[in-house]
Structures are given as C-alpha cells and as structure tokens.
Structure 1
Amino acid sequence: MRRLWHFAQNVLGILFRHPILGVSVIPILPDGQIVLVRRRDNGKWALPGGMVDWGEDLPTTLRRELAEETGLELVTTQRLVGIYSAPDRDPRIHSICVVVAAEVRGTMQIEDTLEISEVKGFDRDALPVGHLSHDHDRQLQDFLNGVTTVA
C-alpha cells in the first residue's frame, strides 16, 4: 500500500506540478482547552484539518474538517496563525497549509474514523508540544507565541 501511495504521489506531482492547499484549525473550547486529534496513519497528535475540496472556500473547509475530525462546530475565527509552505512539511505531498485559531463548541465525537482514532482537549500547559505530526509543533508554537507566520 505504501509503495502504491508513493507512486500516486509521483504521478500527481508530474501531472499537476502545483502544491495542494490545505487548512488546519487550532480549536479553542470555551474553557480555553485546545483540541487535538490522534492520526491513525502515524499515531501522533495533530491539529484538525485537511485538503480544500474542489469548489470549496477556506471557511467551508475549516468547518467541514473540524466537524469530521472532532464533531465540534466552529463559532468564530479568532485569527490567522500562518501560512506554511515548506515542500517537506507534509510527508505525503507538497501542500500549503493555512492555519487559523477558532473558538469552537459542541461535543467531541469523531466522524472520520478512518483518519482519526482519538480527539481530546488539552490545557495549554499539557499540550504534547514536540511530539506532533507534520509541522504542527511549529504551527501551535506560533499560535502560543502570538505570532503570524508566512513560511
């Protein structure tokens, strides 16, 4: 399966030669906890998010991905945390990720059980920083430091 995925990545890269656009959201619960998801593919904690579907705008993608991966509803976007574009930031493909912090509400429940194995709220002093998937350590640290990054 891994070899097939590697082949597909190469074919897509040859055909399109453009990065894929994705989003990540830093979901903040009313009590201030930050919600992370555990990915099935690598077992690491990550920010909820995913690729923008054809015909979708960024707000729609943020709401859809948040709901699919956490069961939560986006109440309001707080701020743009950054845009991350390093070619190796996602081990699967070259993707550009727009990251926003958002107030969320609802009950945590995974809808996308193929991608996500667990969803959990963390106090800021208990976040598993240093052990997150992709470049989510940097994204979360930029948020915690109050900076907006274009990288």
Structure 2
Amino acid sequence: MQYKANTPEDYIKQVPEERKEVLQTLRKTIKDNLPEGFQECIQYGMIGYVVPHSIYPDGYHCDPKIPLPFMSFASQKNSINLYHSGIYADPKIYKWFVEEYPKHCKTKLDMGKSCVRFKKIDQIPMELIAKLCQKMSVQDWINKYEAALKKK
C-alpha cells in the first residue's frame, strides 16, 4: 500500500488503527539504535533512513538528487516490511541476521534480498531489529555502497 505522506508522523496517522502502535514502536527502535548520521525521511512512499547530502553529497547513483537510501519500513496489505541495505550488501550481516532470527521469533523468516516481511505484526522482533540497526555506521554503508559501484 502506498501512503501520501510528507512526514513519518503523517505516514503513521494514515495506516490502519491496529498497526499504528507497532509502527511507532518500530520507528522508535530504529531511531534509538541507528548510528549517528543517518537521517529519517519519507522516501519511496515509506519511512526511510538515509545518508543525507550533507554527509554524502553525491547522493544515490540512480538519482543524485535523492539522498543515499539505507533502511526503510512500510505498512503493506498483508505485512509490515523492513528493508535494510546492509542485509543485501554485506554477507556477514545477512548470515548473522538469518542465524539470529529464530532466536528472537517463532515465525519462519520471510525474506527477500533486502526485505524482511512480518505478517504477524505482534511478533516483530524489536530487539533483533535494534541489534541490526547497530551493525553498520554511515561510513561503513558509504564504503560498502561505493565498493559495489566500482564493481559495475
């Protein structure tokens, strides 16, 4: 589902009532645990966390006017989805997350390349997400991103 929001607060106001509290908790978990330098915004119709132009002036290579994306989450029709670029870009983080997930959650991991889908919204592993947020600094992400661009 796509929401027409200009701020994270506006986004959360628009979601179904039964999802508001969990999205507020997820947002707080992310904000409290992401390393300094990431900036919260609305990006691609989701609540996103980016490397701002003040830190990385080049922006995202697909559209340099857009700050470098890192992490986001969205309320979809059948799930709440968490997108984390580090899971996709860093095999060590991916391996760690896949191994840790069953220790924090009883449901089967439903995951794409950088997307983790939570269909049981009352079972989102906030503690695991907090640890995931701490795994990569802004500079770590910039280094990983630039290394991937050079390979192309």
> TM-score, structure 2 length as denominator?
0.28
Could you state the TM-score of these two structures normalised by the residue count of structure 1?
0.28
Of structures 1 and 2, the one scoring higher in RCO (CA 8 A, sep 6+) is 1
Structure number with higher strand proportion: 1
